[in-house]
Chain A
């Protein structure tokens, strides 16, 4: 193998070609049809304005929360399902189509192949999330404008002081489109990225797509308990837990990812600000997992016979 095949540029170029191929392959599976479903959910969430007793200053705020809640919830579900199923499909499909043999017969390092496949899935998840995010932000922007207009009109009629109007406006804008909301969407992407890289690792030694999908979803759900297991382990000295409980909780803490960290999206839906430093730390966690799982996948896949 010539040195040019190992230069950084050639790695990047190979990974991009494989990533774009994986992306195109997935797009051809008509995955973007789910956007229609998302659109319907978006429209429906605009009508969940149940009777309320709030003062006129709070009118419409619940609909804004409802739009965010439904949208981010749907984004989480779609992105995780897409990340797991798409990744689980890729390797078996390449084996079935015999594309894998053609690629591996060429001087393509297996790490490049895996990284390319993973990046293809992540690109698909990213594009999907961006499209859903665009829809959500536009809907939220329009609805926030409507709510704000009504509130300001009412405040003017009642002759409220400027400071009070500003406080009300700030509260309403907090429920509208914000940088924190964009941060929450990014947190959704990070969680899906971890799941995609984990599914890639499982698919390197799994025997079927179904097995990879089921195990990945199981890990996804149990990952939301990881923090509880870690708390049990870290506090077990004080709580007087038995050795077996300590061992099990330690094992769960060490093996599974902590998905509860990404539940910051719930706080954003409720109108809280997501600090940039927190998002940075979450990104670090996401990168850490994605890198580790990709390297681990390569370790398993590197000498696998087909």
Chain B
């Protein structure tokens, strides 16, 4: 057979073979994508962001390997405090490996914690510039984490980390509405608990956030009661919040009697409530706390000079104070 004829037959065979396999491959490809086993095609934007060599490696089907290289690069940017480059690199990394929790958490952490703290302490910048850069970094960290959650809705760690970030006393002042921020934190913790895999502290953390939302005291009390039924949850904060929320629900109850019931002895009740009283920065509710501490001081014969009310309370400060000069 002559060579051109042979090549012609071969070309027809290749096309016919392609036509036979195409429907099978298309179905398998969409099944794999639906099952999350193969990622969505890379956006042109992502292809532009990685250099030529990395693009070739990505084309070779090694996305996670390129993400690992980029992680090393991002670490160098972090050491050099090149925060925009850190954010851009993590943006590319999560495009390459969207199911890796570590990249979402670390990217958010760099932005909301490292970049924000760096700007916070950067004395070379004018106060207003520092404040805006600090706020923008925290907002960017939150947005990045929320994107990670949208990509991995079943991952309890990401939900929990969002809750942690939003209820952090150094972070929530960056958001305009504190009540809304604590609600979002409690919701994030709840979603983490609902996955069924979260560690025990997450349910307690949900209570810590929910208790700080004005208007949700009844919901928080119900949660505190259900947590309190389990011995492991008898932490000082859970006990105190149970007491405080009960005092909110029923201001006429015998506060001292209930405090002693919860904390076992007047001394333990006084110590726990005193410590709680001083935690002003965290903005926990204090219903009935002062009214319980006063009679407890008398019962325990605390000298007036040593009264908890003589100790200076930490002033509640915010960005207005932090960036005053």
Contact = CB atoms under 8 A, between A and B. Distances in A.
B61 A161 contact: no
B38 A267 contact: yes
A77 B58 CA distance: 11
A159 B57 CA distance: 45
Contacts of B302: none
Interface stretch (A4-12, A51-59, A103-111, A122-130): A51-59
Contacts of B143: none
B28 interface: yes
Contacts of A48: 68, 71-72
Contacts of A55: 157, 199
Contacts of B60: 76-77, 80, 220-221, 224
Contacts of A285: 21, 24-25, 28
Interface stretch (A19-27, A113-121, A240-248, A257-265): A257-265
Is the interface on chain A under 10, 10 to 19, 20 to 34, or 35 or more residues?
A: 35 or more
B17 A292 contact: yes
A228 B21 contact: no
Interface of B: 1, 6-7, 9-10, 13-15, 17-19, 21-22, 24-26, 28-29, 31-32, 35-39, 41, 56-57, 59-65, 67-68, 71-72, 75, 97, 99-100, 102, 105-106, 109, 113, 157, 197, 199-200, 232
21 contacts: A52-B102, A52-B105, A54-B102, A62-B102, A65-B100, A69-B65, A73-B62, A73-B65, A77-B60, A220-B60, A224-B61, A227-B25, A253-B22, A260-B61, A261-B29, A263-B38, A264-B37, A264-B38, A272-B37, A288-B21, A300-B10
B37 A66 contact: no
A230 B26 contact: yes
A299 B14 CA distance: 12
Given A272-B37, A278-B32, A50 B75 contact: yes
Main secondary structure of the interface of B (DSSP, over half): helix
Q: Find the residue from A58, A65, A225, A292 having the highest chain B CB count within 10 A.
A: A65
A192 B320 CA distance: 62
Contacts of B100: 65, 270
Contact of B14 (A77, A254, A303): A254
A220 B56 CA distance: 11
Query: Among B21, B25, B36, which residue has the most Cβ atoms of chain A within 10 A?
Result: B25
B236 to A, nearest CB: 16
Contacts of B59: 221, 224-225
Contacts of A275: 35
B64 A73 contact: yes
Nearest to A233: B22
Contacts of A65: 64, 100, 102
Contact of A266 (B24, B38, B71, B113): B38
Interface in A136-184: 159-161, 164, 167-168, 171
A266 B97 contact: yes
A191 B56 CA distance: 17
Nearest to A253: B22
B22 A230 contact: yes
A255 B68 contact: no
B199 A164 contact: yes
A252 to B, nearest CB: 9
Interface in A272-290: 272, 274-275, 278, 281-282, 285, 288
Nearest to A61: B102
A221 B37 contact: no
Nearest to B1: A303
A299 B6 contact: yes
Contact of A53 (B9, B17, B37, B109): B109
